[in-house]
């Protein structure tokens, strides 16, 4: 029977693909955001500056600090890429999320499994780049190929996962292709980052599973995501194949407002497979960018019980303002 032999959690945000000297560009958007989420409440920028003034976050802001942290992030990314290459799995399951890249309010499933033979991706047009928020277009190369490219899916594993999850009370959506034309430029960035930065474009046959982490009202709670991971492991082990499978959680950690205390609690709970602690994280804490932590939680549920153990490669809180905005970058693997 198949088995999960490797797990990984990686951040994937635009800051990782932005030159450090430009990290401050996103502060323009931060200052205009009326709903910056921090510990379950919404704030505007100036309110967070006042709330967090005793943390001396200004000391972590500047080109010297940003350059050093950027180097640490890319050292960690290269480590994850090397570990995945060393394991050389036969198939990969990628837990990701969509931010109106292939889904919209007209159709927003809570959990989607893709079973296509291939998936495409392509760079955004200049017109599309011009409509992006400050600091986003410059990062596109970090999760988009330079030209139209197709990547191998794993339809056999995808179909097996769908059938097994349905039989075990997970009512998943399914698809065998991506939308073409209109605003779509291929896979969501949660997948594209893994293709380019972790797999270095040598993409392994894989099954994307998309969680609706961002958009109410049908966001699966943290406890449900962990249970989904456990069901995925059981499905893999029930697959009549000798395949060695890896699972990757793409996204997080806390952002667009960094919360190191929350991240530390979550990392320790993932290390010990503490399902109760992970499942008890308030839904109000896992909103906005921090909602992507659910991709890690699902991945952790999948590696629990396999005998794999966690190696935290690095945790780098990349602040870009005295309000605490930025992205906490996390990189870990289970082997």
Q: pLDDT, tens digit, for every residue of 113-153? A: 999 999 999 998 888 888 888 778 888 888 999 999 999 99
Q: Is the predicted pLDDT of residue 283 greater than 80, yes or no?
A: yes
Q: Is the predicted pLDDT of residue 73 greater than 90, yes or no?
A: yes
**What percentage of the chain carries pLDDT values higher than 70?**
100
- Model confidence at 179, pLDDT cuts 50, 70, 90, reads confident
User: What residue ranges define each of the domains in the chain, with the CATH number in brackets?
Assistant: 3-334 (3.40.830.10)
Map the chain to HEC letters: CCEEEEEEEECCCHHHHCCHHHHHHHHHHHHHCCCEEECCEEECHHHHHHHCHHHCHHHHCCHHHHHHHHHHHHHHHHHHHHHHHHHCCCEEEEEEECCCCCCECCECCCEEEECCCEEEECCCCHHHHHCCCCCCHHHHHHCCCCCCEEEEECHHHHHHHHHHHHHCCCCCEEECCCCCCCCCCECCHHHHHHHHHHCCCCCCCEEEEEECCCCCCCCCCHHHHHHHHHHHHHHHHHCCCCCEEEEEEECCCCCCECCHHHHHHHHHHHHCCCHHHHHCCCHHHCCHHHHHHHHHHHHHHHHCCCCCCEEEEEEEEEECCCCCEEEEEEEEEEC
Q: pLDDT, tens digit, for every residue of 286-298? A: 999 999 999 999 9
Q: What is the pLDDT of residue 59?
A: 95
Residue recorded with tokens 């931060």: 30
pTM over 0.85: yes
Q: pLDDT, tens digit, for every residue of 32-59? A: 999 999 999 999 999 999 999 999 999 9
């Amino acid at each position: 029977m198949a088995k999960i032999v490797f797990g990984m959690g990686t951040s994937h945000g635009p800051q990782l693909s932005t030159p450090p000297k430009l990290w401050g560009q996103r502060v323009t958007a931060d200052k205009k955001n009326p709903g910056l989420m921090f510990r379950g409440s919404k704030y505007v920028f100036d309110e967070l500056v006042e709330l967090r003034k005793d943390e001396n976050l200004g000391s972590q802001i500047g080109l010297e600090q940003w350059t050093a942290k950027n180097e640490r992030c890319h050292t960690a990314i290269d480590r994850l890429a090397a570990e995945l290459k060393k394991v050389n799995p036969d198939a990969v399951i990628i837990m990701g999320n969509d931010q109106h890249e292939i889904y919209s309010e007209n159709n927003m499933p809570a959990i989607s499994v893709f079973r296509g033979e291939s998936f495409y991706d392509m760079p955004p047009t200049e017109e599309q780049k011009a409509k992006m928020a400050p600091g986003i277009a410059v990062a596109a190369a970090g999760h988009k190929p330079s030209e139209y490219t197709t990547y191998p899916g794993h339809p056999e594993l995808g179909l097996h996962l769908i059938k097994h999850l349905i039989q075990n009370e997970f009512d998943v959506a399914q698809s065998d292709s991506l939308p073409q034309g209109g605003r779509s430029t291929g896979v969501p960035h949660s997948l594209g980052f893994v293709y380019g930065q972790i797999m270095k474009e040598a993409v392994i046959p894989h099954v994307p599973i998309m969680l609706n982490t961002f958009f109410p009202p049908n966001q699966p709670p943290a406890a449900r995501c962990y249970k989904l991971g456990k069901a995925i492991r059981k499905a893999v082990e029930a697959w009549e194949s000798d395949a060695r499978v890896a699972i990757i959680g793409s996204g997080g950690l806390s952002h667009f407002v960094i919360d190191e205390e929350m991240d530390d609690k979550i990392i320790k709970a993932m290390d010990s497979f503490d399902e109760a602690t992970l499942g008890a994280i308030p839904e109000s804490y896992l909103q906005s960018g921090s909602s992507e932590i659910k991709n890690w939680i699902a991945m952790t549920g999948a590696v629990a019980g396999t005998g794999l153990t966690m190696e935290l490669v690095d945790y780098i809180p990349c602040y870009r303002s005295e309000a605490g905005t930025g992205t906490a970058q996390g990189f870990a693997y289970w082997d």
